[in-house]
Amino acid sequence: MRLELHRAIVKDIRWGSPTRLEDHVLYVDKDGVIAALSDDDRIDSWEVDLTRPGESARIIPVKDVIEPRVKLDGGEGFFPGVLAPNEIVGNGKTLVLSGAAVISVGPIMAFQEGFIDMSGPGADHTPFSKTHNLVINAQPLEGLEKHQYEEALRVAGLKASLYLAESCKGAHVDEVQVFDKGTVSEEAIKYPNLPKVVHLCMCITQGLLHDTYLYGVDMKNILPTLVHPNEILDGAMVSGNCVSACDKNTTWHHVNDPVVQELYSLHGKEINFLGMIPTLESTVLAGKERTSSFNAKLAHELGANGVIITEEGYGNPDTDICMNVKKCEALGIKTVVIADEASGTDGSGQGLADATPELTAFVSAGNVNEMVEVPPMERVIGYPESIAHVSGGAEDSLRPDGSMYVELQSIIGSTCEIGTNRTGSKWV
């Protein structure tokens, strides 16, 4: 597969008609965005707004973040199985509006959502304080069932991102990234002496609005499978979960997966990058046992010498980590885990909810319970009172002056377990 990401860099975002990218400024036609979303009769009204890096603005509660992308050739639309034909992606040319993002807002399942600050100390913990954002807020019809509301808002975010990218197809491209890799058998012939490494990407698949979609299919209904890394970078995976904000892998995270990109950079030099195994995090013991057995079996059948395991969420998925490590190591496959920790506000507690002696290589993405004080913002988009129900927030988190005292886990992407965060750990 050969994928070309044609990156057009966005340095500012403003209202303007028509929607276009001109001199690195993304002009957005407000009426055009709303028109692109208005075919969903489950939503009563739409509100749209813009935020820029450094502004005194807070977005709360956030559902998803999406990078605007569209196929330039070899396909149509984007996000196969959702807004594009359900065909294998990862080939051809894709336009990327780098530096822009669509952020969807709505109190669907409040305790599993979070916020983004565009300035101040909270901004240091999320990549989306550095992006130029179109924010969409959906007001559902009265009495709309929460799963229907979630689906409507999830798809709306994808639609808005596609609308922006399609409107900018003629934009100047600043950079072209090429990702070119053959099949597992072809690469094994080319690099017979390099260690084989696979990325085991654990995804929230627990139902009750904790879901991830692969080619439009709810992943809790599938068995672990192998995908070419180009497929992930080209929109095959979509976030549909309301997991704790800190370690939620948004759709933006998936198409920019740093583990995939880092392993790609080493492919053919230090390692043979086999690809990704997107895998489940079940809520029941039997599901965890079955999935971890399939993960280890698949990695072994591929001839993997090493597995990079990344988690999404924390708590009961920590048992999935331990099972994946234990079963891979038993087959002679070396493992490295990237995950965050829930070790209490002072950091003295046990980081993971489970343990196994085989887990000896662990990269920490930070402590989700660390306390952060964020100042009031001049502008709040959404529902500031929802911090009372957000994981990491409490009834007294929102102060009368608009400042908040919260755990790190209430900030979107603050302890991202595929490594886009700025928080980690150090030896002392």
Quote the pLDDT of residue 421.
76
Higher pLDDT, 266 or 388: 266
Q: Is the pLDDT of residue 189 over 80?
A: yes
Residues 6 or more apart in contact with residue 325 via CB below 8 angstroms: 309, 335, 337, 356, 358, 359
Tens digits of residue pLDDT in 128-177: 999 999 999 988 888 888 888 888 989 999 999 999 999 999 999 999 99
**pLDDT for the residue 95:** 97
Q: Average pLDDT in the 264-292 region?
A: 95
For residue 416, which amino acid is it? C
- Backbone φ and ψ of 412, nearest 5°: -60, 120
- In this predicted structure, the answer to whether residue 422 has a pLDDT above a threshold of 90 is no
Task: Between 209 and 80, name the one with better pLDDT.
Answer: 80
* Residue 209: predicted pLDDT: 73
* pLDDT above 60 for 425: no
Helix, strand, coil tally for the chain in percent (to 5): 25, 30, 40
Helices (H) and strands (E) in the chain, counts: 8, 23
Alpha-carbon dihedral sign for residues 386, 387, 392, 393: negative
Average confidence (pLDDT) over 63-90: 91
Q: Which of 41-45, 190-194, 299-303, 422-426 shows the lowest mean pLDDT across its residues?
A: 422-426
DSSP state letter for 243: -
201 is catalytic: no
Is 0.85 topped by the overall pTM?
yes
Share above pLDDT 90 across residues of the chain, in percent, rounded to a whole number: 73
Q: In sequence order, what are the residues at sequence separation of 6 or more whose Cβ sits closer than 8 angstroms to the Cβ of residue 253? A: 65, 239, 413, 416, 418, 420
Tokens of 252: 């933006």
| Mean of pLDDT values over 398-425 | 87
**Residue 257: is its pLDDT beyond 90?**
yes
Segments making up each domain of the chain, as ranges: 2-410
How high is the pLDDT of residue 273?
Answer: 97
Residue position matching structure tokens 């046992």: 289
**pLDDT, position 349:** 86
Kindly tell me if the per-residue pLDDT of 300 is higher than 80: yes
Query: Which of 201, 242, 328, 416 is the catalytic position?
Result: 242
